[in-house]
């Protein structure tokens, strides 16, 4: 069911963002109709936790089904164009109204709570072991640059630029691992570069790496921060959310042209892991939310059944 319209990326730039938004609205309506057909099943749960499934969230609110929304998207917009920005204002009003209707919105980033928005900090997958142990299991003995393309062809421009930059560095003391995504085709790798379509525990690879090069998506960045691994985050040009995220950490699309310089700098940067407790805070917030709804039920009895959707 979850098959959102793909981005069209040309030379690292999002082409036709307005058309993409219109296609997404059609997709949203299709998802809402699909969920509506099974509303009786959905309503049987004590709680629905929606991970950015806006169609399901709206349907639950319409039918009085208890729900919690998890999202780090608080603003919708376009980077350029007066018409696009005017359209974005209309979308933002509707989106803000949806957020305002949600009894609890968990935002996996740092911030100050306001209204129904509860900022819990980053949610990251736990690492399976110590860094050196993971490196040994991967067979990594040299300093390693890990390149993450986001799992789709959208990151092809970044992965190919990173591979070309690595080859131009002529540093046999370094090693590069590229996680391209299933079905993504890349140019033949130069010596010292390994390419993988998919890995099961990317967070472990992020911990094991010495530098991460990634699109400016929140998940990979947060896992790099939790691991203390220096990173370079390049946004898709004209992708509003990615450009916002990249700016937060001092990066922009223009940094693609100085990737070699950034890699040299990041390779000498010390590791500074940050503590993350987003998952624990999310669980605690959900339990407290359920207890407020059912005050007679003691915490020791455990939380009622819940459904999660993405």
Give the separation between CA 14 and CA 232, rounded to whole angstroms: 20
Share of the chain above pLDDT 70, in %: 92
Which residue, among 108, 122, 182, 188, has the nearest Cα to 150 in the 3D structure? 182
pLDDT at position 279: 96
- State residue 308's pLDDT score: 55
Q: pLDDT at residue 298 above 70?
A: no
The mean pLDDT value for 97-103 works out to 96
Q: Beta-strand (E) ranges in the chain?
A: 9-10, 13-14, 47-51, 67-70, 105-107, 117-119, 144-148, 175-179, 193-196, 211-215, 231-234, 306-309
User: pLDDT (tens digit, 9 = 90+) per residue, 111-139?
Assistant: 999 999 999 999 999 999 999 999 999 99
Domain segments of the chain: what residues? 9-123+279-309, 131-267
For the segment(s) 131-267, the CATH number from 1.10.443.10, 3.40.605.10, 3.40.50.2000, 3.40.50.300 is 3.40.50.2000
pTM of the complete model = 0.89
Instruction: Examine the pLDDT at 301 and tell me if it is beyond 50.
Output: no
Q: Which residue has the higher pLDDT, 143 or 151?
A: 143
Predicted confidence (pLDDT) at residue 80 exceeds the cutoff of 70? no
At 11, the pLDDT band (50, 70, 90 cuts) reads very high
List own/partner pairs for 234-238 with CB under 8 A and 24 or more apart. 234/12, 234/158, 234/259, 236/7, 236/9, 236/12, 236/13, 236/14, 236/154, 237/12, 237/13, 237/14, 237/79, 238/13, 238/14, 238/17, 238/78, 238/79, 238/80
Instruction: Quote the pLDDT of residue 299.
Output: 43
| Residue 89 confidence (pLDDT) above 90 | no
Q: Which of 22-26, 53-57, 107-111, 196-200 has the lowest mean pLDDT?
A: 22-26
Measured CA to CA in angstroms, residue 301 lies from 228, 290, 296 at distances of 38, 12, 11
CB neighbour burial string for 254-279, b if at least 16 within 10 angstroms, e if fewer:
ebbeebeebbeebeeeeeeeeebebb
Lowest average pLDDT, out of 10-24, 159-173, 258-272, goes to 10-24
The whole-number pLDDT of residue 293 equals 84
Query: Three-state SS for 193?
Result: strand
Q: Which of 43-52, 185-194, 297-306 has the lowest mean pLDDT?
A: 297-306
């Amino acid at each position: 069911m979850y098959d959102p319209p793909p981005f069209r990326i040309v030379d690292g730039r999002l082409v036709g963002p307005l058309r993409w938004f219109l296609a997404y609205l059609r997709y949203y309506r299709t998802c809402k109709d699909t969920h509506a057909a099974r509303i009786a099943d959905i309503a049987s749960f004590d709680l629905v936790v929606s991970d950015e499934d806006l169609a399901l969230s709206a349907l639950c609110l319409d039918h009085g089904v208890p729900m919690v929304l998890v999202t780090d998207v608080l603003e919708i917009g376009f980077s350029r164009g007066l018409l696009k920005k005017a359209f974005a204002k209309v979308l933002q009003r509707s989106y803000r109204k949806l957020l305002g209707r949600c009894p609890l919105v968990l935002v996996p980033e740092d911030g100050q709570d306001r209204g129904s928005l509860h900022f819990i900090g980053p949610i990251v997958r736990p690492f399976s072991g110590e860094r050196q142990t993971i490196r040994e299991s991967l067979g990594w003995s040299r300093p390693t640059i890990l390149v993450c393309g986001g799992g789709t062809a959208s990151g092809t421009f970044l992965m190919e630029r990173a591979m070309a930059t690595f080859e131009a560095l002529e540093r046999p003391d370094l090693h590069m691992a590229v996680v391209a995504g299933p079905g993504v085709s890349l140019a033949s790798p130069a010596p010292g570069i390994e390419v993988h379509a998919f890995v099961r525990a990317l967070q472990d690879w992020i911990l094991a790496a010495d530098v991460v090069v990634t699109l400016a998506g929140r998940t990979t960045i947060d896992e790099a921060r939790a691991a203390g691994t220096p990173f370079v985050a390049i946004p898709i040009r004209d992708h509003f959310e990615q450009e916002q995220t990249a700016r937060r950490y001092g990066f922009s699309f223009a940094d693609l042209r100085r990737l070699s310089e950034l890699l040299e700098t990041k390779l000498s940067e010390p590791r500074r892991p940050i503590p993350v407790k987003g998952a624990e805070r999310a669980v605690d917030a959900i339990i407290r939310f359920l207890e407020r709804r059912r005050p007679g039920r003691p915490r020791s009895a455990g939380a009622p059944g819940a459904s999660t959707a993405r």
